[in-house]
Amino acid sequence: MRRRKLVTALGTALVGGVAGCTGSSEPTADAFAVASPELDAGGSLPTRFTCYGAGVSPPFSVERVPDPTAALAVVAEYDSGGVTDPLFWTLWNVPPDTDRIPAGLSRSASVAALGGARQGRREGGDVGYEPPCPQPGQPYTNRFQVYALGERLDVEGGTDHDTASEAIGNAVLASRRITVDFERTPTP
């Protein structure tokens, strides 16, 4: 499990390293751009993306995918303060020409709307996006990491998040992270 934190850190480090290497002296750190129309980095996770709302997956827009990207992937985890951070979503084999990952993906092992992309599952849980669900007064820092992969993954949809995350980490060309917080306020 310590390996997953290393893989996440490595993927982040690769953004300025491998993704920026094109053989020219021009820096290309901005070659991979990811945003979300509903997630503001450093802001709060909208309730609709948690178990206290609709519990749907958030949308992402993707631009300037680096060559030779073969697929895109998303890994979402929240900071639990421990050695490993619980994963609540893995999505991989999104076609590299995808410019938009829509909100509210179906909770299925294969996502037809994204060219047959695959989703993982929490151990003992359901496939797809598992919305964050902190207890009142317990803050969560949620990290959504979008990856450009150098190869399509030979990992079946519905596999556990840890296995999918490890495979994603082994194929990273570049990545971008959006970090948001969420804290459910206690109700009187």
The mean predicted confidence, pLDDT, of the chain is: 85
- Residues 14-60: tens digit of each pLDDT: 433 333 333 333 334 458 999 999 999 999 999 999 999 999 999 99
Of residues 183 and 171, more confidently modeled: 171
Domains of the chain from N-terminus onward: 2-18+43-103+110-182 (3.90.280.10)
- Stated as kind and residue range, the H or E segment containing 167 is helix 161-169
Is the pLDDT at 176 greater than 90? The verdict is yes
Residue 108: the pLDDT is: 98
Could you give the CA distance from residue 49 to residue 21 in angstroms, rounded to a whole number? 36
Backbone angles phi, psi at 111, to 5 degrees: -110, 100
Is the pLDDT at 81 greater than 70? The verdict is no
Contact by Cβ (8 Å): 95, 87: no
The pLDDT-based confidence of 136 (bands split at 50, 70, 90) is: confident
The pLDDT-based confidence of 186 (bands split at 50, 70, 90) is: low
Could you give the CA distance from residue 87 to residue 120 in angstroms, rounded to a whole number? 10
